[in-house]
Structure 1
Amino acid sequence: MKSMLRSGLFEIEQESIAPIPAEARHGRSQELFTIWFGMNMTPLTVVTGATATTLLGLPMVSSIIAILLGHALGGIGMALHAAQGPQLGVPQMLQARGQFGSRGASLIVLVAILMFVGYFSSNLIVSADSITALLPEAGGTAMITGCAVLSFVIAAFGYNLVRKVTAFGAYIVGALVLVSFAALLAGGDFWARMNHGEFTWTGFLAMLAIGIVWQLTYAPYVSDYSRYMPARSGTRGAFWGTYLGCVVSSALLMILGAGVGIAVGGVDTMTGLNGILGPVLGAAVLVGFALVAAAGNSVNAYCSALCALTLVETFASGWRPGAKARLVTSLVLHVLGVTLALAAATSFASSYFSFLSVLLYVLIPWSAVNLVDYYVIRHGSYAVDEFYAADGGRYGRWNAGSLIVFGIGVLAQIPFMATPFYTGAAAEAMGGIDVAWLVGLGVSSLAYMVIARTAPALVRLHSGSAEPQVLGK
C-alpha cells in the first residue's frame, strides 16, 4: 500500500505527531538552511537588532560583535536539538517524554505553546505595522487578520508547503536586505553616527544575551522540520543546515536593525528604514518584509499545532491525531493569536508579551536536560514507540529525576534574572546584566549528569544494553 504521508506541495499533510516512517522521509540539509534563513527574515528581527544602538546605546562596532557572538553561541544549542530529528523522526516536544515522562513533558509542552502563540502574535503586529505605516487607511485590524489568514492557509497544507514558502521568502527578503544594506551604507548619517554611543559591559552583555536567547527560543521546534529528513542523513546535515540558516539570517537582520537605529536616532526602526530607502524602494521593502513575515509565521503556527496535539494526546490514551485534528487545532490557535494581537494595546497583552521573557527561563533547563540526556547519557538511543504508551512505557508518566533537575535549574536562575516583572539580587549587583540563561544551562546540565551517573534509576535509565531506537511503522 502506497504511503499517504509524503504529501505533495498542495496536498494536506496527513501526518501530525506520529513517527515519520522511512518511506515518507525526504529533504536535504540545504532545505533546512532556507527554512530557517527565511524564518528570521522578519521586521521583528530588524526591530530587535535596533535595541543595541538605541535602547542599549552601544556604538556600531560593539553592536556587531555582540550580535555575531551571541547568535554564534546560542545557535550551537539550538542546532543540537535539530540534529535529533533525523534520528528519532518525531516532533521535538514529543521527544521530551524520553526525559520527563509522558505527563511530566506536558509541563514543557504547555510553556512552548504559550511561547509560540506569543511570537506568532508579535509577528502579526510587526508585519501589520509595516504595511499600515505606508497605507494607514488599510487599518491594523484588517492587516493583522489578513496576515493570519495567509499563515493559516500555508500551515494547513503542512510541512511541504511551509518549507517551500519559507525558502521562497528567503530569496525575496535576502535580496531586499542587500538593497537595504546598500542604501544604509550609501547614506552619510550612518557613517557620521556609527561611533555614537558608549561601550558598556552591561549593554554589550545584554545584547549578547539577546542573541543567545533568540537562538534558544527555536530549540523547542527545530526538530519538527528535521524529523522528515532521512535517518541516513545523520546529525551533521541537520545541525549545519539549521545552524547556518538561523544564525546567518538573524545576525544579518539584527546588524541591519542596529545600523538603522544608529542612523535615524530615536525614530521608529521600520519608519527609519523607509526613510533611508526612499518612498518607492522603501514601500517595496516594507511590504516585502511584511508579506514574507506573514507567510513565514506559518512556521510558528505549524509547530504550535503539533505541540497542542502532543498535549492533548498525553491525556487521551490511544488517540492518534491526523490531518483533521491538526487543521482544527491550527485554526483555534490562529484565532487565539489574532485575538491577542488585536488586544496589543491593552494592559493584558502588554503584560503577556513581557511574560514571554519569563517563559524562556523555564525552557532553558529543559534544553539542558534534553541535550545532556540525548548526547551524553543515552547517546541518541530511545524506544520511540514507547513515547506513545498509555503508561509512559519505560519512561513513565513522571520522571522524578528530570523534574527535580528542572526545578533546580529554574530556581538557580532567579537571582540572576532581569525582567520587566522582577530583577534578582545578583542581576542588580551586576548593574542589570542578565546571565540567568548561562546559570540555568550550567546548573541544569551538571545536576542532570550527577543524577544520571549516581542514581540512574531516578531518571529511568536502564542499565546494561543501550536502549533500542524503535521507529513507528
Structure 2
Amino acid sequence: MSDLEKSLDQSQSGSYSQDKEVGIVDSYHYDNGLIGKLRRWGDKLHVEAKGIERITEEDKTNESVWNAGTMWFAANMVVSTFSLGALGIGIFGMQFWDSTLTIIFFNILGMIPVAFYSTFGPQFGLRQMILSRFWFGFHGVKVFAFLNCIACIGWAAVNTVVAAELLHSVNNGRLPPWGGVIIIAFLTLFVTFFGYKVVHTYEKYSWIPTFIIFLIIIARMSKSHSFTFGTMETGRIEAGNVLSFGTAIYGFSTGWASFASDYVVYQPKSTPKTKLFFVVFVGLGFPLIFCQILGAACMTGTLTNQMYADGYNTNGFGGLIYAVLVEDSLHGFGQFCLVILALSTVANNCPNFYSVSLSIQTVSTYFAMLPRFIWTLLATLVTIGIGIPAYYSFQSFMDNFMNIIGYWLAIYEGITLPEHFIFRGGFSGYVIEDYNTPSKLPVGMSALFAFACGVAGATVGMYQPWWTGPLAALVPGDIGIELSFGFAAIAYIAARPLELKIFGR
C-alpha cells in the first residue's frame, strides 16, 4: 500500500474522527503517511496549510479593508487587461468611442457581483465555492467548483500567452514562446505557493511599476500622433459588435466573482460591508477601465501607422506594444519596459493559481486531504500544457474562452442572487454552522435545473465562430450572457419554491 493510500485509510479508520454528515475532511491534522509528511514540509516553509476549512474569528488577522482593494487593483493593472481593450478594434471592427463606452458599461455590470460576493468573506469566513453550498447544495456545488477549476486554469493560460508574446518580442525573439509561458507560470507559482498573506503582500505593491509603464505608453502614443477617434457607427451590425465585445469585457471583469470571498476571509466580521463593497468596486474599476481604454487607444494606431500594424500582424499584442515602446521610440529602455509588463501577468495569475486549489478541494472530500499548495503546483503544470499550444492561436482562443466563461458566470449569478435576496432574505437567512452538513443544505435540484436552463439560454444567444444561436443570428451579435442570466434566474425563481415545499431545505 502506498503512503497516500495509507493516509486515506487512516482518515477513515480511526486516526481522524469524522461524522457522517461532515463534508470536509480537515486535512490540517494528519500525523502519519505521505499527507502528513507534505504538511510538515509545508509548515517548515511557512506555507499556508489551511484550505477550505472555515476561517474562525481568532484566525482573522487581516484588518485592513484596503488590502481588498489593492488585491484587485494589482490583479487588473496588467498587460492582459490592456490586450482585452484592444479586441474591440482588432476583432470586432469598432472604433475608439464605441469601444470606450462598451468597456465602461459592461465592466460596471461585471464588477458589481464581484464586489457583492466579497462582502460574504468577513461575515462567514468561507471560501467562495464552500459558501456556494448554501445556494447549490453540498453535491450540486461540485459542478460549479469543477467549472471554476476550468475557468482558473483557462484564465491563467490566456494571461500567460499575452506575457509570452511580450517576452518573445524582446531581443529579436530570442526567447521562444514556450520559454515565456514557463517563466510566467513558475513565477506565479512561487508567489501563490505560500498562500494568502504572500499573495496579498505581492499584490499590494506590484501594480506600481506597471502603472508607470502604462503612463509611458500614453506619452509615446501621444508623441507618435497615431491615435485616432474614428467614427462611431450605428445600425444592427454595430449593435451586434457592441454586444459581442461587451460579452468579452463582462467575462473578464466578472471572472473574479467565483472566488471573490477567497481574498477577504481573514478580515474580521466587523468589517463594514458597504465600505468593503466600494473598496473592491473601485479596486476593480480603475485598472480595468483605464487599461482597456488604453489598449483600445493603442489599437487605433494600427489603422494609421504601418509600423504598428506590422508589429501587431507579426506578433499580436506583444508586437503592437513593442512598436509603441521600442521601434523608433525608447529602444533598450523600451525593451526593459516590455519585460516589466510581461511580469505584471504574475499579479493577474495569482488569484487563479490560488483559488483553483480551493475549488479542486471542493470537488471531492478526498481532494481536500491533499494540502492546498500541491494542487497549486499541479495547476501550474496544466497551465503550461495549455498555454504553449494556445500561444499559436491566441486571438481566437482569448475571445472564445472569455465568452464561454462569461456565460457560466452569468448563470452562477442568475441563481445565487435570487437565492440570497428572495429566498434567504439577505445575510440573516444563513445558519453558517450548517455549511458542512449536507442534510441541512439545499438539495440543489432547482439550482441544477436552472443551470440547464441557463445553458439553453447561452446556446440560443451565443455568437461564436463555431456556433451561432438562432436568437443571436437575429441581432446579429452575442446575447448569450443576457439570456443565460435571464433563463437561469427565471427557472430558479420558479423551481426553488417547489424544492422547499418537498424537501424543506
Task: Give TM-score, length-normalised by structure 2.
Answer: 0.81
Aligned to 1:122, the other structure's residue is in SS state helix
Q: Which amino acid aligns with 1:357?
A: N
Deviation at 1:205, TM superposition (A): 2.6
Q: Deviations over 1:205-238 (max 9, x none)?
A: 3233322222221110111102222111132233
In 2, Cα distance between equivalents of 1:261 and 1:413:
30
Deviation at 1:64, TM superposition (A): 1.2
Q: List aligned pairs for 1:91-240, cutoff 5 A.
A: 91-135=127-171, 136-190=173-227, 193-195=228-230, 198-199=233-234, 200-240=238-278
Deviation at 1:139, TM superposition (A): 2.2
Other-structure match for 1:466: none
Query: Is the counterpart of residue 403 in structure 1 residue 448 in structure 2?
Result: yes
Q: 90, 110, 113: which is aligned to 2:126?
A: 90
**What is the number of residues matched between the two proteins?**
444
The runs of 5 or more residues in structure 2 that have no matched partner are: 1-27, 30-41, 304-308
In 1, Cα distance between equivalents of 2:210 and 2:131:
33
In 2, Cα distance between equivalents of 1:96 and 1:369:
10
In 1, Cα distance between equivalents of 2:361 and 2:322:
41
**Structure 1 residues 349, 47: closer, same or farther in 2, change over 3 A?**
closer
Query: Is the counterpart of residue 19 in structure 1 residue 60 in structure 2?
Result: no
Q: 339, 342, 359: which is aligned to 1:307?
A: 359
**Structure 1 residues 125, 66: closer, same or farther in 2, change over 3 A?**
same
In 2, Cα distance between equivalents of 1:348 and 1:244:
30
In 1, Cα distance between equivalents of 2:91 and 2:396:
18
Whether contact under 8 Å (1:31, 1:163) holds in the other structure is: yes
RMSD over equivalenced CA pairs, Å: 2.7
Query: Is the counterpart of residue 327 in structure 1 residue 378 in structure 2?
Result: no
Other-structure match for 2:36: none
Aligned to 2:266, the other structure's residue is in SS state coil
In 1, Cα distance between equivalents of 2:53 and 2:263:
14
Other-structure match for 1:430: 475
Q: 55, 66, 69: which is aligned to 1:30?
A: 66
Q: Deviations over 1:114-165 (max 9, x none)?
A: 1111111122221122111013222222222121111111111101111111
Whether contact under 8 Å (1:53, 1:197) holds in the other structure is: no
Aligned to 1:138, the other structure's residue is in SS state coil
Q: Which amino acid aligns with 1:371?
A: L
Q: 84, 94, 101: which is aligned to 1:48?
A: 84
Other-structure match for 1:442: 486
Whether contact under 8 Å (2:163, 2:343) holds in the other structure is: yes
In 2, Cα distance between equivalents of 1:53 and 1:114:
28
Q: 240, 245, 251: which is aligned to 2:283?
A: 245
Query: Is the counterpart of residue 287 in structure 1 residue 362 in structure 2?
Result: no
Compare 18-27 and 341-350 and name the one that shifted more.
Answer: 341-350
Q: Deviations over 1:236-271 (max 9, x none)?
A: 233212211112211111111101110123423332
Aligned to 1:51, the other structure's residue is in SS state helix
**Structure 1 residues 345, 257: closer, same or farther in 2, change over 3 A?**
closer
Q: Percent identity?
A: 21
Kindly name which structure, 1 or 2, has the bigger radius of gyration based on alpha carbons. Answer: 2
Aligned to 1:411, the other structure's residue is in SS state helix
Q: 359, 365, 381: which is aligned to 2:411?
A: 365
Deviation at 1:290, TM superposition (A): 1.0
In 2, Cα distance between equivalents of 1:358 and 1:188:
37
**Structure 1 residues 269, 127: closer, same or farther in 2, change over 3 A?**
closer
Whether contact under 8 Å (1:416, 1:436) holds in the other structure is: yes
In 2, Cα distance between equivalents of 1:459 and 1:353:
42
In 2, Cα distance between equivalents of 1:419 and 1:235:
38
Q: 64, 69, 83: which is aligned to 2:100?
A: 64
Deviation at 1:328, TM superposition (A): 1.1
Q: Which amino acid aligns with 1:173?
A: T
